Every structure is written in structure tokens, then in C-alpha cells.
Amino acid sequence: MRLLVTRPDPDGARTAAALRTRGHDVLAAPLLRIESVADAAIGDGPWAAVALTSTNAIGAIVSHEGLSGVPVFTVGGRTARAARDAGLTAVRSAEGDVAALAALIAAECAGARDPVLYLAGEDRAGDLEGLLAGHGLAVKTAVVYRAVTESRFPDTVRAALVSGAVDAVLHYSRRTAEAFLAACAVDGLDAATLRIRHLCLSPQVAAALREAGSKDVVAAPRPDEASLFGLL
């Protein structure tokens, strides 16, 4: 298949490489650029645990001495593996979504008096803070990275969309799906959003495309890359 991947690098490059090894023709157009937040207000703790919903937050743990040895809970296996690769040892994965992460933390930290530190992005899907509050756990959210939107496609991608040389677009977040739609609008490619098949990591991501009028939109049965690849 001729595929377009729009997630930010380095994840986008890794995804494109994995798809090429499966025999697909892949174009990459990272529509978000991840930037670390300088001097993020993390604080000194103590913390009952650290919660991560993205690999983009791992650097904040590694660079903060006060987080050494604090249990780390991640939303999925890939973030957990990246955390271990960065030298963290006490890492547990919820292997699911934000609700699954909250349930895991609640089970492991029941009765904790110290807050859970959530190292988050500026824009977040799901309400981890509210879910943990429902379990009686306090949360301190520290924004440690942000995503900056790219407003236009690279020339090669624009040409492929115009000519119909893209069979499907892989969408990993609602934010990147919305960025795809916005870039199509800037380049006068609104018809491309209706013609192309959209493969989405979750129903929430798929909703952004459907709300824009796209008809051929499919959500993965589980919010992980293996399930998304299973749609191909």
C-alpha cells in the first residue's frame, strides 16, 4: 500500500521504517514538532509515582535527580521500553489507554499520601488527573513538552495527495489528525480527506476525521501500533 505517516519524529521515522519493512511504500510528513519545555516546574516531591503517557516526557525524568528511584507507570509498552532504555528500572505499563493507566496506578498506590507526578504535554487527551482523583489520589501535573503544528505538507506529499498516490493515512492522535485536516485546507486539498482511507489509533482520533466529513475512517480495536498495523 501507498501510505502517509504524519506523526512527529522520531516516532514517525520509526513507524515509516517499520512499514517499509512490511513492503509498503511510505511517505512521511511530520505535522507536529515536539519541543521540550525549558525549566519545567516539576518540583522536588516526594512523589508516590510518576505517570507517563508519551515517550516525549522521558527526558524530564532522566534530567531530574529528584525522580531517581520513583516508580514509573506508563500508558503503553512502547513508552515503558523507552523508559527502560533510558536507564529507568521501576517501570510498569498499563498496556492500554489513560483509563487503564489510572486503574494501574490506583491499584499500586492505594492509600498513598504523596501525590502522583504526571509529566505531560501541553495538549492532552484524556483526564488522568480526574481519574486518579476519583481513586483518592492527588496529582501534580508538570508540562514538560509541547507540540508545534506544521501548517503545510512537504512538496512531495502535496503532489502525492493531489495525484491520488496515497492509499491511506495513519493517524496516531487527534491532534495530528486535526493537523492533517488543517494542512489540507491550507493547500486546497479538502477533497483528499474525503477520498483517502484513514486508519486511526483510537475512536477519539477517528472522530476528528468523521466530523470533517471523511467517510472511509477505521479505528484500531486497541490503541497500540500493532493493532493499527493490523488494519492494513
Least trusted range by pLDDT, from 54-68, 110-124, 218-232 = 54-68
Q: For the chain, what is the mean pLDDT?
A: 91
Task: Return the C-alpha cell found at 198.
Answer: 484513514
Burial of 74 (0-12, 13-18, 19+ CB in 10 A): buried
Please report the domains of the chain, with CATH numbers, ordered by start residue: 2-31+150-229 (3.40.50.10090), 35-147 (3.40.50.10090)
Task: Report which of 137, 216, 141 is spatially closest to residue 171, judged by C-alpha positions.
Answer: 216
**What DSSP assignment string belongs to the chain?**
-EEEE-SPTTHHHHHHHHHHHTT-EEEE---EEEEE-TT--------SEEEESSGGGHHHHHT-GGGTT--EEESSHHHHHHHHHTT--SEEE-SS-HHHHHHHHHHHSTT--SPEEEEEESS-SS-HHHHHHTTT--EEEEEEEEEEEP-S--HHHHHHHHHT---EEEE-SHHHHHHHHHHHHHTT-HHHHHHSEEEESSHHHHHHHHHTT-SSEEE-SSSSHHHHHTT-
Residue 48 or residue 193, greater confidence = 48
Residue 223 pLDDT: 86
CA distances from 219 to 18, 38, 135, 180, 225 (A): 20, 35, 29, 16, 11
Q: Is the predicted pLDDT of residue 193 greater than 80, yes or no?
A: no
Where does the pLDDT of residue 47 fall: very low under 50, low under 70, confident under 90, or very high at 90 and above? Answer: very high
Amino acid at 47: W
Where does the pLDDT of residue 170 fall: very low under 50, low under 70, confident under 90, or very high at 90 and above? Answer: very high
Task: Report which of 129, 97, 124, 112 is spatially closest to residue 49, judged by C-alpha positions.
Answer: 112
pLDDT-above-70 percentage for the chain: 99
- Which pTM does this prediction carry? 0.68
61-63-64 Cα angle (round to 5): 65
CA distances from 27 to 37, 45, 50, 149, 180 (A): 29, 44, 35, 18, 14
Residue 56 pLDDT: 87
Q: Is the predicted pLDDT of residue 194 greater than 90, yes or no?
A: no
Residue 42 pLDDT: 86
